[in-house]
Chain A
Amino acid sequence: MALLEIEKLNFTYNSLIDVNKKTIDNISLKIERGDFVILCGESGSGKTTLLKLIKKELRPIGKTEGRITLKEIDVEKIDNLTSAKSIGFVMQDPNTQIVTDKVWHELAFGLENLGEDKGVIRRRVAEISGYFGISNWYRKDTSILSGGEKQLLNLASIMVMKPDILLLDEPTSQLDPISATLFLNSVRKINQDLGITVILVEHNLEEIYSYANKIVVLEKGKVLYNDTPKNVGKMLLDKVDDKMLYELPSAVRIYNKLNVNDECPLTVNDAKKFIIRNFENEIKTLENKNSFIKKEIAIELNEAYFRYEKDSANILNGLDLKIYKGEVCCIVGPNGCGKSTLLKIINGLLQTNSGKIKIFGEKLKKSNAKISTLPQNPRSLFISESVYDELVELCSLLGIKNHDEVIKKISNELKIETLFETHPYDLSGGEAQKVALAKILLMDPDIILLDEPTKGLDTYSKMMISDILKGLKEKGKTIVIVTHDIEFAGLYADRCAMFFDGQIVSIDNRIDFFAHNDYYTTCASRISRPYYSNAITVDMVVELCNMNKRKQYE
């Protein structure tokens, strides 16, 4: 008997304007003990809703039909304690899930609720801290942990209750890539070592895809595919233009575009072998069409030094940077190295200790150029009850008279008219990002700075954002993006810069930049080298493969 069984489940939100639109449409699923299931699909396909329906404490308000059973008991009828204990749920935001102020108290919180006695709690908490390697923080305050550490603590404080099934709702969307990998590896370890059943909703499938033994693809509340990773990769073969395809790992996407009768590769290593097995490499490189034409300098930093405290380490350490008008420049680099600080210095929020900053050849203070920043969390810009009020409010603050006209123009550009009535907090990640961008555009800036614009977005939303940025670039705006997202930078930047140790250590057009990096580079680039060179996106690799002859087998 399956551990978790979903039978003919239907769900409609009460609050939706269109009452007949089902968020979950006749879903039936069987999940066995020890399964590692990845739920994917574009945003709004009902992944999170499905996950929340399994946990009765988190059930959204609406009309439910059909049933979900855990160990043959209806989830709704499980008694409260068992439900809390046997179904673990990790949410998106690492911060808001943490309840108490000390790490040890957080770990014990669930067990306290279950009414376990002191001795049991002490043993279980000790065990779990050892298992997750967090014993060093045991007595620390939760507020001083980093995002990745917080999320690991959240996982540990769920696991301490010994759940049968672990539900994770985009747990890595707020983390940097390294913490995300660390976190997902812990999840995998739990599944492998302890046989805990895992259902994971995730956008970034590049690494985790091959770990799963079942991929469930949702589309508009329906199950589109439900099979092993390899088979799902194959099934998508005939749906080359499907939006879903963009979510999959580079290896699978390359396979899909090449139409070769071979097994579907899942990892970088598999894909490398796959290409060598199937294609010649007579033509080794693609011509670099991306040569960058330098124009007027928009931003110039010269030997900039900055530190927060007199005795602390330098964040900027003699940084030199030139950014040209009308380019999209991505600054990539490890976590916490000061990329966001750099943006704050460019827009004048912080002053350098020494060094010069010039904007269009003038000193920062004297410059008339407008610089606006899109913050990491778009919500920190939202103040009103609806998206439309949001824009009107800013217009009145700026003293724009004909605000109807201006708002119409900008929202047409960003395609957000349909969201006008929505409360800003109800927007999805991509939508929130677009509305925040609209607010930025109302300022009519010459230079736009973006701090991690792709954080927590699905691939489709990322594409929308990049289309908008392209449009802005054509209008002559200068765009500087600080990001962890190498794949995004590889696809859309004009130039990329590597920030390390307070300096820009390399800056080049994106193809040369990623083709010369060995570790810090896109998956496609890692797959194709050293067999091919200069191919940094999936499309480029596919183009190269197609230019070469197929290998013939007897």
Chain B
Amino acid sequence: MKRMDYVHPIILFLYFMMVIFITMITNNPVLISISFFSSLFLYAMFTSFKNMFKKLGLFLILMIFMALINPIFSRYGKTILFSIGYYNFTLESMLYGFFTSMMLVSVIIWFMSYSIVFKSDKFIYLFGKIIPKISLVISVTLNFIPRFTHYFKEIDDAQRSLGVYEKKALRMKLRVFSIVFGMSLESAIETSNSMRARGYGKSGRSNYSIFKWRKADLILGIIWIAFGVYSFISILSNSDYNYYPVLDHITVDLKMISICGSFLLLAISSTILEIKENILWHYLKLKN
């Protein structure tokens, strides 16, 4: 079990959304790099470093490819590195392609980590808070999907083993769908009977969940929101980073350090939590 797994769903959701959102609104290469490396570390913590490097290889190829291909579409930039025929490959244009794709890749990796810890039950809980009925609808739907896939497989096998399948493939598939439809409707009626038999539809329904607020969740929440909001506001108030016509110079001043610092702390804190958990775990194991 990962440490992030038992952070309260609301805080967990907020965390990922803040990190991903900030990554998406900035084009500052430093911030993007922070986001990129933090996302990689967290993904490595959730799966393994081996797994992370495997994925990284693919993403690096993508980023280099984007860096090479961007100059073909964008003719801006002053520093010409080399030219192939009609196309000038400028440093600015290549870096722009590189960092934009790095931003996209970071978002993808953040979402990959997100989907590891943020399973359907957390999602349902979260939206159940806002609209209680929705949570039940999602839960029922998620229960129906595997049931229908199972029906589909079962019916497809049954029809194929009748022995008439190969001759009229399209017609047979339509048959299968039509039977799946009938059986699904029938099963949905039984499910609704089961719901009624257990008292669904009466007023005053309550909402149960297995998630509890802990003190640690509140503290984490406050810290994360503070860093997140600060980074967000200062990124907005600071003017954008420009790649064209020449790269903006990154001035190392207090403001810049504070922005990068707070975002770094926000992005890397999840990894730190996991590392802390691992160390604690080893320590406890040694002690016993």
**A contact residues vs B (CB 8 Å cutoff):** 55, 57-58, 80-81, 83-85, 89, 91, 93, 95-102, 104-105, 108-118, 121-122, 125, 139, 141-143, 157-158, 161, 343-344, 347, 349, 370-373, 375-377, 379-383, 394, 397-398, 425, 439-440, 443, 445, 449
State the interface size on chain B (CB cutoff 8 A): 50
Q: Which residues of B contact A381 (CB under 8 A)?
A: 158-159, 162, 179
Q: Are A118 and B146 in contact (CB under 8 A)?
A: no
Min C-beta distance of A337 to chain B, whole Å: 18
Q: Are B199 and A113 in contact (CB under 8 A)?
A: yes
In the complex, A371→B187 CA distance in Å? 30
Q: Which residue of B lies closest to A111 (CB)?
A: B208
Of the A-B pairs whose beta carbons lie under 8 Å apart in the complex, a sample of 15, sorted by A's number, is A57-B196, A58-B197, A97-B190, A101-B121, A102-B120, A112-B205, A113-B198, A114-B199, A344-B157, A375-B161, A377-B158, A380-B158, A383-B178, A397-B164, A440-B162
B193 interface hit (Cβ, 8 Å): yes
Enumerate B197-231 residues with CB–CB distance to A below 8 Å: 197-202, 204-210
In the complex, A383→B196 CA distance in Å? 28
Q: Which residue of B lies closest to A97 (CB)?
A: B194
Q: Are A375 and B187 in contact (CB under 8 A)?
A: no
B253 interface hit (Cβ, 8 Å): no
Q: Which residues of B contact A109 (CB under 8 A)?
A: 195, 198, 200
Q: Are B208 and A373 in contact (CB under 8 A)?
A: no
Min C-beta distance of B180 to chain A, whole Å: 9
B191 interface hit (Cβ, 8 Å): yes
In addition to A57-B196, A104-B210, 10 A-B residue pairs with Cβ atoms within 8 Å of each other are A91-B194, A96-B194, A99-B143, A102-B120, A105-B208, A108-B208, A112-B207, A118-B209, A349-B157, A379-B183
Q: Which residues of B contact A372 (CB under 8 A)?
A: 161-163
Q: Are B199 and A85 in contact (CB under 8 A)?
A: yes
CB < 8 Å neighbour of A102 from B139, B157, B182, B186: B139
Q: Which residue of B lies closest to A100 (CB)?
A: B139
In the complex, A409→B210 CA distance in Å? 60
Q: Are B206 and A445 in contact (CB under 8 A)?
A: no
B285 interface hit (Cβ, 8 Å): no
In the complex, A408→B148 CA distance in Å? 35
B255 interface hit (Cβ, 8 Å): no
Q: Are A57 and B140 in contact (CB under 8 A)?
A: no
Min C-beta distance of B171 to chain A, whole Å: 8
- A80-B199, A101-B143, A110-B198 known; A347 vs B161 contact (CB < 8 Å): yes
Min C-beta distance of B168 to chain A, whole Å: 7
Q: Which residues of A contact B155 (CB under 8 A)?
A: 380
10 A-B pairs with the lowest CB-CB distances in the bound complex, closest first: A84-B199, A143-B146, A373-B161, A96-B190, A375-B158, A113-B199, A101-B142, A115-B204, A108-B208, A380-B158
Q: Are A371 and B159 in contact (CB under 8 A)?
A: no
Q: Which residue of A lies closest to B202 (CB)?
A: A80
Min C-beta distance of B236 to chain A, whole Å: 39
In the complex, A102→B208 CA distance in Å? 12
CB < 8 Å neighbour of B190 from A91, A110, A139, A445: A91
CB < 8 Å neighbour of B199 from A108, A110, A377, A394: A110
B175 interface hit (Cβ, 8 Å): yes
Best-buried of A58, A85, A113 by chain B (most CB within 10 Å): A113
Q: Which residues of A contact B210 (CB under 8 A)?
A: 104, 139
Q: Which residue of B lies closest to A102 (CB)?
A: B121
B277 interface hit (Cβ, 8 Å): no
In the complex, A97→B192 CA distance in Å? 8
Min C-beta distance of B132 to chain A, whole Å: 9
In the complex, A91→B162 CA distance in Å? 30
- A99-B143, A100-B139 known; A58 vs B182 contact (CB < 8 Å): no
- A55-B197, A108-B208, A397-B164 known; A375 vs B157 contact (CB < 8 Å): yes
Q: Which residues of B contact A383 (CB under 8 A)?
A: 175, 178-179, 182
Q: Which residues of B contact A55 (CB under 8 A)?
A: 197
Q: Which residue of A lies closest to B147 (CB)?
A: A95
Q: Which residues of A contact B198 (CB under 8 A)?
A: 84, 99, 109-110, 113, 157-158, 161
